[in-house]
Structure 1
């Protein structure tokens, strides 16, 4: 942990537990810092053949959210190195490029399904509420 007056603002307590999807590295929400007006989760999705269902059910929130997926090919950072199915309302999107997805408050979204992940994918979400709720 960093030292200094503002050291509590630096979150470096790395988590390393893996699950069937990947590794949730960092989380920040109002449980960590009281009064925080947003939350964020940062995770790796690890390579594997077949499907990885991250969120199966469509849902909406009473806050805006940004969902991200970034490929890790240093020669082609736009290459997602996977195919990701992501739904916004009744529209299915097939993502093959690194991207940010803005999900306005009240917009139904998901499922999110990763297919044929060939390199790690960095995935994070940030939402305009103190903590995540579906």
Structure 2
């Protein structure tokens, strides 16, 4: 490779970011994860194939950054179909929640401060055509908060030190 191409790969191209099968409880196929490797983007992406019913998030949370959740079907020949049923709770900063029943490809914009979850993948019609779930986080460090709290927690609900 050329020197320029080496520099571009080092700073702008990230590969081999696979989450191995079994690394996340309930995820039974490899996924992809971009954890803001060089700390410059302020962006984290997780892309997971959901092959069977899975209660991913059981508690309501909020973030101090914007987030987008993308639910797509795993059948490339029928991109207009989700291939399952997902329950996602979405609410406001006052803790009021409504349950959304998702049965077709959907993107949900979650504004900073907006309470959301639980997230439950209720049914997957064909495990060979999983529901594809992408979580786009617009922050350099993933953190969540329980409603009414300002203590930052990691993805396992463990306290984290403020580093942003």
- What does 1:49-128 align with in structure 2 at a 5 Å threshold? 51-89=53-91, 90-118=97-125, 119-128=129-138
- 1:24/1:87 Cα in 2 relative to 1: closer, same or farther (>3 Å)? farther
Q: Which runs of 5+ in 2 are unaligned?
A: 92-96, 145-164
**How far did 1:24 drift?**
5.4
Q: Which runs of 5+ in 1 are unaligned?
A: none
SS in 2 for 1:105: coil
Query: Hey, which of these two has a bigger chunk of strand by percent?
Result: 1
Q: 2:27 maps to what in 1?
A: 21
**Mapped partners of 2:77, 2:39: distance in 1:** 41
Bigger radius of gyration: 2
Number of residues paired by the alignment? Answer: 128
Cα contact 1:72–1:80 (8 A) shared by 2? yes
Q: 4+ residue runs of structure 1 moved beyond 6 angstroms? A: none
**Mapped partners of 2:98, 2:130: distance in 1:** 26
Q: 1:40 and 2:52 equivalent? A: no
SS in 1 for 2:103: strand
**How far did 1:128 drift?**
1.5
TM-score, structure 1 length as denominator? 0.85
**Mapped partners of 1:12, 1:122: distance in 2:** 19
93-102 vs 8-17, which moves further = 8-17
TM-score, structure 2 length as denominator? 0.71
